[in-house]
Amino acid sequence: MKNFLTLLIMLAVMASPIIAQTEQTVQSTQPAASAPTFESDVIKGEKGDIKLTFIGHASLIIEHSGRVIHIDPWSKLADYSQLPKADLLMLTHEHQDHLDAIAIDLLKKPDTSVVYTEFISQQRDDGKVFKNGDSGEIDGIQIEAVPAYNIVHKRENGEPYHPKGRGNGYIFTIDGKRIYVAGDTENVPELKELKNIDVAFLPMNLPYTMTPEMVADLATAIKPKILYPYHFSETDTSIIVNLLKEQKDIEVRIRKLK
């Protein structure tokens, strides 16, 4: 009996390195965490590709020639620590789904350029202020700030959801293409004067921005070659597709921008 117990102990000792090695092998085969994937389109510029990535809601990424532009990043939608850092970070207005300090901090590098409204400058001091009508070149990209506000849709106290002069839309000229990201706005008169828009992102989030009919009205006026309804929440996107079906010069693209 004593010899039998001794034999069992010896077998256990001999097996322990094999068990440990097996466990180590299993642990080492666990896959590494991968970066999140989102829908994207590529627009042909004059000299290269312009990549548009749709994070969702009002959050977008534009990439060209190694530069990365983040627009209204919102950490509710993505783990921004897994996404490319921003060379240029654009903020349209101060609402929490457009101005998210967590996402901004994750995306900023020491040399990141940040652009925001005068109202946001009351909360942050790490960027350049663009008012409605301002324009300038940052990191080789021409940027124009255009109005973004409500006339029709208002709070119970009569105040517009987005008062005039507080928010921006932005037009980027990148490799010969003019890309308009409207921010939160309605089809206000100033916007109908915009010219030579290649790509437009127009919001359709009720009751805060535009109805499909308002989007169709603005799109018909500015005639973008490509229209992305965005920030559309539960609005039925088939309505805008149907409203613009006779506008053969406007390609309506529906992406995951709820």
Query: Over the stretch 178-203, which tens digit does the pLDDT of each residue have?
Result: 999 999 999 999 999 999 999 999 99
Q: Is the pLDDT of residue 19 over 50?
A: no
d(CA 108, CA 167): 22
- For the stretch 81-111, pLDDT in tens is 999 999 999 999 999 999 999 999 999 999 9
Report the SS3 class of residue 101: helix
Indicate the pTM of the whole model.
0.86
Reported as type and span, the H/E element at residue 201 is strand 199-203
Nearest C-alpha neighbor of 61 from the set 164, 181, 224: 181
Q: How far is CA 14 from CA 3, 8, 18, 23, in A?
A: 17, 10, 8, 16
